[in-house]
Amino acid sequence: MKSVLRYPSALVLCFAMLLSISTASTAAPLIPNAPNLDASSYILVDFNTGAILAEKNSTMQAEPASITKLMTVYVAFQELRNGTLQLTDKVTVSKKAWRTEGSRMFIEVGKQVKVEDLLQGIIVQSGNDASIALAEHIAGTEETFAQLMNQHAQTLGMSQTNFLNATGLPAAGHLTTAADIATLSAAIIREFPEYYNWYSQLEFTYAGIRQYNRNKLLRRDRSVDGLKTGHTESAGYCLAASAKRDNMRLVSVVLGTDSDAARSSASQALLNYGFRFFETHQLFTEKQVIESPRLWEGAKQTLAVGTGNGLSATIPRGQAKALTVNTNYQQQLMAPIQAGTVVGEVTVTLGDKLVTKQPLLALETVPEGTLFQRLKDKVLLMFAGDDE
């Protein structure tokens, strides 16, 4: 005891040093503010979680130029999935399609072109002629096709978007936002992986004319695999891009820059920022059981619950071990219960910050138990009170 009392300052100093080292090793990493880019609006989103990592005026309406063609192609992909359109279908080129201005695939009036060729002509060559030809084939007229585009936009939650044509050529009221285009881009990647590789195609040759993909990031950054450029004098230079590194995919949308080089540089800066300072951490896989809480009056006494589609969180790099997962249930769980029923909520926090939350679902169907099981549980519930 005396020896301890004789050297209190030394002990306190050592403890403070150890505490300092421990605190430093667990301290949150420093994350700078997102790049301030010279564009009218932009957004950077984690594809897997929907977390916004950077944005500027992302909900401000703007002209999308040829980024419009993301929706033109999305509609066609839906038609292919529904079986109302085939890649081998032949499309007769109208005079309107042939005469359209701007970027072209160089299809000829009266000739028949396969749907697959038109799609690649739109995606790689940004062909306005191909866009109109495909729109007319699907819906009869470009105007009717634009109605389809807007219906799909509403289904996707693109609430600030209004399409008037299939090309993105200037038209009063033809508007969208960076956030809405990010939503559309993610939908294409998620819903149509069998076609998405076309967006990374560097060139496409039709009628002996070779044209190159205008998305320069495809050549500069091997992790970039899409999506679409756009440019008109009134819209400026625009780019929707996506890249995947390890298990993390990011989607960036940049609208209203003043040059081809500027849109590429801005998009690259956003992607580099996101990959450098953040990570996508998967906590639970699809249909993984998170918990098995007590189920009353059922054929079994527990219920497997989870999030159905899995659960991932976007966090600062190196902070996965600091995440906390909590589950909350709406009420005592009673049988019968169907798989997919929402029974509560799972929340993920990092310190005192909410990272994400999702509905907690029943992962199995459990019928009512026997009369004896139900009566037994009724008695137990009478005595359990609020503690169960």
* Cα(291)–Cα(238) distance, integer angstroms: 46
Mean pLDDT of 87-93: 97
pLDDT of residue 388: 43
- C-alpha closest to that of 267 among 30, 16, 39: 39
What HEC string does 221-271 produce?
Answer: CCCEEEEEEEEECCCEEEEEEEEEECCEEEEEEEEEECCHHHHHHHHHHHH
pLDDT tens digits along 57-68? 999 999 999 999
* Cα(37)–Cα(318) distance, integer angstroms: 27
pLDDT of residue 386: 46
In the chain the first and final C-alpha atoms are separated, in Å, by 49
Mean pLDDT of 11-36: 55
- Domains located in the chain, CATH noted: 41-277 (3.40.710.10), 285-387 (2.60.410.10)
* Cα(14)–Cα(62) distance, integer angstroms: 60
Instruction: Kindly tell me if the per-residue pLDDT of 254 is higher than 50.
Output: yes
pLDDT of residue 1: 31
Sheet containing strand 342-350, edge to edge, reads: 305-306, 353-362, 342-350, 323-329
Mean pLDDT of 16-44: 70
Instruction: Kindly tell me if the per-residue pLDDT of 17 is higher than 60.
Output: no
Instruction: Kindly tell me if the per-residue pLDDT of 228 is higher than 70.
Output: yes
Q: Which amino acid is at 29?
A: P
- C-alpha closest to that of 47 among 256, 231, 250, 194: 250
Instruction: Kindly tell me if the per-residue pLDDT of 24 is higher than 90.
Output: no
pLDDT of residue 377: 81
| CB neighbours of residue 179 within 10 Å | 24
Residue 239 vs residues 69, 72, 263, 265, 303: alpha-carbon distances, Å: 12, 16, 6, 10, 47
Higher pLDDT, 78 or 1: 78
Coil, strand, or helix at residue 128? helix
Instruction: Kindly tell me if the per-residue pLDDT of 3 is higher than 70.
Output: no
- pLDDT interval class at 11 (50, 70, 90): very low
- pLDDT interval class at 132 (50, 70, 90): very high
Instruction: Kindly tell me if the per-residue pLDDT of 282 is higher than 60.
Output: yes
- pLDDT interval class at 7 (50, 70, 90): very low
Mean pLDDT of 6-30: 43
* Cα(313)–Cα(184) distance, integer angstroms: 21
pLDDT of residue 383: 79
Question: What are the phi and psi torsion angles at 195 (to 5°)?
Answer: -110, -15
Coil, strand, or helix at residue 166? coil
* Residues with catalytic roles: 66, 69, 126
- C-alpha closest to that of 310 among 348, 350, 338, 282: 282
Mean pLDDT of 275-293: 94
pLDDT of residue 29: 67
Instruction: Kindly tell me if the per-residue pLDDT of 20 is higher than 70.
Output: no
- pLDDT interval class at 14 (50, 70, 90): very low
Q: What is the DSSP letter of 333?
A: E
Mean model confidence pLDDT for the chain: 91
Q: Which residue has the tokens 């801005």?
A: 266
Least confident window among 13-17, 91-95, 138-142:
13-17
pLDDT of residue 8: 40
The percentage of the chain sitting over the pLDDT mark of 90, rounded to a whole number, equals 84
* Cα(149)–Cα(72) distance, integer angstroms: 7
Q: CA 26 from chain center: how many Å? A: 31
Residue 113 vs residues 203, 294, 349: alpha-carbon distances, Å: 18, 61, 53
Query: What's the chain's length in residues?
Result: 388
Task: Confirm if 106 and 117 have CB atoms less than 8 A apart.
Answer: no
Task: Confirm if 249 and 243 have CB atoms less than 8 A apart.
Answer: yes
Burial classification of residue 325, based on how many CB atoms lie within 10 Å of its CB (0-12 exposed, 13-18 middle, 19 or more buried): middle
* Cα(192)–Cα(211) distance, integer angstroms: 24
- C-alpha closest to that of 94 among 36, 135, 154: 135
pTM of the model: 0.86
